[in-house]
Chains A and B, each alone.
Chain A
Amino acid sequence: MKMTKLFLSLGIFGFALSASAIETRFESDSSLPVVYLNVAVKAGAANDPHGQAGIGNFVGEMMMRGTKTRTKAQIDETLDLLGATLSVETRTEAIIFRGRVLSSKLAEYMEVVHDIITNPSFPEREIKKLKAEISSDIVETRGKDGPLAKVFWDGFLFEGHPYGKPILGKLRDLEKLKRDDLVRHYRDLFQDRNLLVVGSGDSEASFVESWAKRLAEARPDTSGENPVHVADAPKNPAKREILFVDKPDRTQTQLYFGQVGVRMTDPRFFPLHLANHVFGGGSFSARLMTEVRVKRGWSYGAYSYFRQGIRPRSFQAYTFPATKDTPGAVALVDQMLREWKEKGITPAEYEFAKSSLINSAGFAYNTPGKRVENILLEKTLDLPDGFMKTFAEHLSKVTLAEANAAVKDFVDPDRMHVMLLGTAKDLKAKFATSLKVPESEIKVVPYTKE
Chain B
Amino acid sequence: MSADIRTGLLLAWLVVAIVIAWAIVPWLFTGQDPISGVPAEKLQGPSLAHLFGTDAIGRDLFTRVVHGAVHSLSGAFVAVTVGLVAGTLLGVLAGSLGGVVDAAIMRLVDVLLAIPGLLLALSIIILLGFGTVNAAIAVGVGSIAAFARVSRSEVVRVRQSDYVEAAFGSGARLHSVLARHVLPNSLTAVVGLAALQFGTAILAISTLGFLGYGAPPPMPEWGLLIAEGRNYVATSWWLTVLPGLVVVVVVLSANRISQSLGRSR
Q: Do A and B bind each other?
A: no
List the interface of chain A (C-beta within 8 A of B): none
